[in-house]
Each structure stands twice: as structure tokens, then as C-alpha cells.
Amino acid sequence: MLISPKLAENERLLQNFQNAHRELSPVNNKEGEKNNCYKMANLCSNLILWVTCLILAVCWAKQSTQSKKNALNDDNFDQNRIKSFYTSDHRKISVYNNFLLSSSVFLIRNYLSIYGQWEHTLEDYSNGSHFGEESPDHIMWKTFLNPEFIEKTRFGKKIIRAVNHFKEQQDGDGYHIYDATAKLIRRIDIPKSTIDAPDSEGDISAILYLIGSWKKNDYGDILFYDDNKEIVGAVHPLMHRMIMFDSSIEHLYKPPAIDNGVAMKTLQIKLTKSVKKVKNAVQHWKLRSQNRIVGRKTTLSKLTTSTSNVIDVEKYITKRYVGPHGRKIFVLDNLFNENDLEKLRKIVKYKRYVFTDRFDEGSDGVSWVATFSLQDFIDSHLWDIHQQVAKHVGNRTTYFPYDVSCNLVQTSDKTRLHDDCAQVADQWTMVTYLNPNWTAQSGGETAFFERKGNDNEYITEVRPRYGRSVIFQGMIYHSARPPANGYNGIRYSFAVKMAEDEAQARVNRVTEDFSTYAANVEQVSSAIKIGYKMGEERTERIAFRSIVGSASASKSKEKEEEEDDEPSRRNVKGNQDWSEDDNENFENQPMQDPEYERELEQYRNPHKEIEKTSNKVAAKKRQELIDSIDRVRSNDKAMAKIQNDFERQINNLLQKLPGTLSKYL
């Protein structure tokens, strides 16, 4: 039960009443009797005041609880329906504002972020795909949710109630959700108009906007067409908004504006009265999920090698480049045979891809990334090939991987110039291109630069070719260029970053993994707090600020990058002026130089710089990792155990999170 802030005052009054009762004077004379009467009057007055405050507190608690229930259960469909459009044959589109609470939008977004199994649903010629197109609306990225689960959620039940209002009490009962698909639309995407079901089936569709702040010049409208292809109505994206329409009405998602780097997220729900359609849709969803699970069971370590154990690396090197200060880039062709590449591509197809449009300073700007288990890669013959190449081009025999991933780059991406490691490190990065039908006109080159900044020259650019690899020193500034404009496919690349030795690689991996761990813990912690108190005014304000703030951060970050006209004037430490001569001097500093030693110490022990967190669970884990690593920093086997154990903990956490969040949806 909610307790009034005045409860402490009530307790004080009660205490005064008890004290006054004990202090009543013995009645020995008239004066004592008079005093007792006076005290009794005060006593009664305090008691009446205390009872009154208690009654008010109970009423306040009931009112607050009722207000919360009203916020969760009061549909207000009449008030929230702002307009309706009609086709020439009277099929309807209705727009409802404030359909979802801010807390609901926040929780759905978090659920999709953690649980969402985003899939690329278009036929991709450049990837050599032979499967047919699965997206009539030509929207590339989707997450298919369990329709049975969505129907049981708060917002799912509200959508079903909204159908009855939409149908104006005429045959609006008996509808069930048979499809729930989250869609992600980005600038330069090319959606197509489509219908969700024939008119004869009587189905209903609903679109929920899961966006934050969105302006008119951000575009992203949804257009609805009559049978003669004329526009019946257009609806602009708006937070909390829901559109409901007859599924037979042709509609088209328009992409965001070219200068809007934020993706437009929607959740489209389809409803029907057909029991058979619902049953078939649920079976289809389960089959899709099962195929994904089976596909992900194929790991890198299970791939059988078809290459010899010892490779003559030199014969595969087709180009080599040397940048300023002797930094090296090597291009290798036909290093991997067709069988290896095809198996790798199948694994890549079923990987879990994580999307972001928010980037930290120094990020590569790649929105879609799938990471691989470090131990899985080490146990595969692919690592044997990478290791031999690194030994051949580098100065060590101890290079060891710490980051293994597949990067997906689209035309809509704005990739950024970056380096992969500190300028004092001796690391190598090896990238292998995985697009069978890629041509020179497809673009997507990897550009290498002498240094960071606008007053800069290319070292070279390497064009993707199927099976081609490029290995380069990690401190070289580079950028994966997006595909050419108008190209609908994806640029796939398999990237492996290698540190000087195993201990360094393991501590690098743990440090990077902690960011993921802390973000997930904080995300779920916030979601639980908001879910538990959703409907309360303060909770809704917090959820609203969180949603709007995340969207604004993505836009402002891109704006900052555009205004940053002299990034080359920043050294590895940040804001001091840094010239080309200074760069050369830094490169040649002796080992005893204090600045060099300090940079080297920071690089060797990145765990000491793990960002602090206010979350108690994450803060405790942070300190545990720092203490554990400090004890065994130079021990390869001990560091391997710490890193592998932490990776398992993160995977277990990710398995539990959807269930934790789902109860609040």
C-alpha cells in the first residue's frame, strides 16, 4: 500500500497523545483537576487530529493507487482517436494518440533491444543468397515475435480492445493476434507498398511507434492508398501513437530523411478472427525460431579444415603498402578456399546481430555487429590460418585474438575514421570479405589514412573481393566505406583483432565485455523499476525522458561529428594540439620517456580504466574483475579462465533477461 508522506507527523501526534496520558496529574485538589481537564482537552484534540491525518493518508493512498490503475486500464479511445480516413469503398484508417504510456514504450524498446532476433529478410544478390524474398514491404530488418506471447501482454490486450472501438462495436469481438513484427526503417531504405491481407478475410492491422523525439523534417511518414493508387491519408511518426486500419488497405513506409541517422522503429500487429490462420502463424513462428536455434549450434570450432596445416603465406600476398613511420598493410587473395568461406557465411547468416545508432568517441560507426565466442574461434582451424599470417607479417610469434566479429555495413550507415588500438600497441587486424558477387561498382572499400583528421592523405584503399583478406597494424586509421548509393545489399566482413600475447588479449576482451555486461544490468534494473511502478506520474516522466534522451543523443552525436572540422589536432590524450612532427616524435620516443611509459601502462592494463557504474551489482562485478586480473595479469591460463567464465556469465544473463522483462509488458 502507498504511504502518505505525512505518516511521520501522524506518528509524532500519537506519541504526544501517549505521553500526555502518562503525564496526567493525580487529582488531589481542584487545581489538579483543572490541569487534568486541560490536558485531557489537548489529548482529545491531538487524537482527533491524528485520526483525521490517518484517514487522509488512507484516502491519498487509495486515490494514488486508483490513479495508477486508471492510467494502466483507462483506454480513452474516444478521446485519443484524433482522426480517421476512409477509402472510396469505406475501409478505414484511424489514428490514436497517447495509445501507449511512456513506460510501455520504454519496456517494449528494452525488450526488443535485449531479446530482439533481428533478421535480414531481403534477397541479397551480393551475398550469393538463393532464398526468396520474405518481405513484401521490402523492409530489410525485422524481429518476429511470438504472437501468443504478445497477445497476453498489457499492450497486446489493449490492441484487441481497440479493435472493438475501431469497428464501432460492430463485429469487433473474436479477434486474435497472429503476427507481431518489429520493423526498423533507416534513411536510404527503399520500402514498397503492400497489403497485409485480402479484404475478404476481414483482418485488422495496427502499427505502434517506438520512437522518441521525431520532427516533421525527419520524414518517415506512412502513406495509405486507395485502389486507384491515390493517397487516402498520410500519418506522421509520433511517440505514443498507434495507427489501426483494415489490413486490405495498401500502405507504404517512407524512410527517414537523409540527414536523420536515427532508425524509425515500429511494431506492426496483425489480427484475425480465423482460428486456422492463428494456428498456422504460431506454428510458422516456432519453426522459424527452431531453424535459428539449429543454425546457431554450428560453431566455428565445428568447421572441418580443408587446408594444409602449414601455409606459405607469402604466395597469397598480392599487394603490400607502407604508411608513415613504417606502418604496414598486406592484401591476401585466395587464402581461404570456397568450402571454408561457404561454411563461414552460413554461420554468419544465423548469428545474433546487435543494432545501435549511438556511437562513442572513437567508434567505427558500424550499426550492425555480430560477435563470436573467443574460445570458439581459438579452437577452430580459422585461427590457425590467421595466426600464421600474423606471425609472417608481424614481429612476434605470440599474437592472440581478442575480438572476433562480423560487421554489416549498408548504404545508410555513416562509418567513421578510427584506429583499433592505442598508438603504443603492437596489434594487427585482419579483415576478410564475404560477398560472393561484389563488384568494383558496389563500393564498400576499406580506406586507410596516414593519420586522423581532415588535413590527411590516403595510404590506400582496398576494394572488397570474395575471399580477399587485408591485414594491417591496428594503430593505422581506417574506415569501412558503405556500399554505393542505390545499392540494396549489405557489405559483410569477418574481422579479427589480435594483441601481442594471450594475457593482453584476454584482459582486452574482459574489459570490452564489461561494457556490455554493465549496460545490460543497468538496462534491466531500470526496466524493472519502471515496470513495477508504471502508471505513476513520476515513473512516466522518467520513462519519457529516457526515450527522448536516447533519440536526441543519437542525433546530436552525428551533428557534433559534422561540426568537428579539426579532429587531427587532437592527440591520443585528447585536446592538446598535435602536429605531424609531434606524431613522429611520439612514435620514436625512448622507452624511458614518462609519457610513453604512462600510455603503455594504460594500454597494458585497460581493466584499471573500466568505467565506474552506479549500479550496485555491476559495480561489485567491476571490482571483482579488477582484483582478479591484478592477481594473475601475466598468466595466460589464469586470464583465459577469467575471460571464459565472464563470457559465460554474460551469455547466461542474456538468456534470463527476456523472461525478467516480459512480466511487465
Task: Please give the DSSP secondary-structure letter assigned to residue 190.
Answer: -
pLDDT at 514: 92
* 524 shares its domain with 645: yes
Q: What is the mean pLDDT of the chain?
A: 82
Of 390, 190, 363, 355, which is closest to residue 265 (Cα–Cα)? 355
pTM, two decimals, is: 0.80
Task: Round to whole Å and give the CA distance between 544 and 105.
Answer: 9
pLDDT, tens only, 126-171 = 565 444 456 889 898 899 999 999 999 999 999 999 999 999 877 7
* 545 shares its domain with 456: no
* 87 shares its domain with 61: no
Task: Round to whole Å and give the CA distance between 633 and 630.
Answer: 5
* 155 shares its domain with 189: yes
Q: Count how many domains the chain has.
A: 4
Pair 348, 354: CB distance under 8 Å: no
* 554 shares its domain with 606: yes
User: Of the residues 73, 97, 114, which one is the last residue of a structural domain?
Assistant: 73
Cβ-based neighbours of 257, under 8 Å, separated by 6 or more: 187, 217, 218, 219, 220
Cβ-based neighbours of 516, under 8 Å, separated by 6 or more: 650
312 assigned to some structural domain: yes
361 assigned to some structural domain: yes
User: Of the residues 296, 327, 350, which one is the last residue of a structural domain?
Assistant: 296
The ranges of the chain with pLDDT < 50 are 1-10, 13-14, 17, 20-25, 27, 61, 64-69, 129-132, 556-591
* 531 shares its domain with 445: no
592 assigned to some structural domain: no
pLDDT at 402: 95
580 assigned to some structural domain: no
539 assigned to some structural domain: yes
pLDDT at 29: 53
Give me the residue label for grid cell 487529582. Answer: 27
2 assigned to some structural domain: no
582 assigned to some structural domain: no
- Strand (E) or helix (H) holding 376: helix 374-378
Task: Round to whole Å and give the CA distance between 657 and 663.
Answer: 11
Pair 150, 247: CB distance under 8 Å: no
Task: Round to whole Å and give the CA distance between 278 and 415.
Answer: 42
Task: Round to whole Å and give the CA distance between 212 and 553.
Answer: 11
Cell of 643: 575471460
* 227 shares its domain with 358: no
Domain extent, residue 381, equals: 308-500
Task: Round to whole Å and give the CA distance between 620 and 352.
Answer: 28
Of 432, 410, 413, which is closest to residue 337 (Cα–Cα)? 432
pLDDT at 416: 81
CATH value at residue 277:
2.60.120.620
* 213 shares its domain with 235: yes
* 258 shares its domain with 340: no
Q: Which amino acid is at 497?
A: K
Task: Round to whole Å and give the CA distance between 524 and 118.
Answer: 20
* 491 shares its domain with 359: yes
User: Of the residues 73, 94, 121, which one is the last residue of a structural domain?
Assistant: 73
* 242 shares its domain with 109: yes
* 193 shares its domain with 281: yes
585 assigned to some structural domain: no
Cβ-based neighbours of 3, under 8 Å, separated by 6 or more: 57, 61
How many helices (H) and strands (E) would you count in the chain?
A: 16, 22
pLDDT, tens only, 604-654 = 888 888 888 888 998 999 999 999 999 999 999 999 999 999 999 988 888
